[in-house]
Amino acid sequence: MRGLMAWEWPGNIREPENFIERAVILTRARAGDSKLAQLVEERTIQNDKTSVLDEYERRQRDRIIGALTACGGRVGGVDGAAAHLGMNRTTLLARMKQLGIYAKRYA
């Protein structure tokens, strides 16, 4: 375990993930007895949280793009995407910026 923590892992995140996954597969210890298995379980929980956030972001992005398409790229006003989504124009603009969505693409 100390060796795992001390190694600098110069590659990307997949390198330690693959190493740990392989170590768990090759270990003969029961999952409940292995600190390595515990580490992998924690990593799996983090990945699940990330995938839930990714899914939420994808759905939010799809809703915004759908509203912009339906409103001809218009963000504000009574006919705009913000009104269509039931949110303030400034809130929608902030979310669009966060998600990298540009209204002109849907005009």
The predicted structure's pLDDT at residue 22: 74
Q: How far is CA 76 from the centre of its chain?
A: 28
Q: Where are the domains of the chain?
A: 2-106
d(CA 31, CA 40): 10
Task: Per residue of the chain (107 residues), give pLDDT as tens.
Answer: 666 666 676 666 777 777 777 777 766 555 555 666 666 666 666 666 666 677 788 888 999 999 999 999 999 999 999 999 999 999 999 999 999 999 999 88
For 23, the token pair is 């170590």
CB 68 within 8 A of CB 103: yes
d(CA 52, CA 47): 9
d(CA 81, CA 85): 6
pTM of structure:
0.56
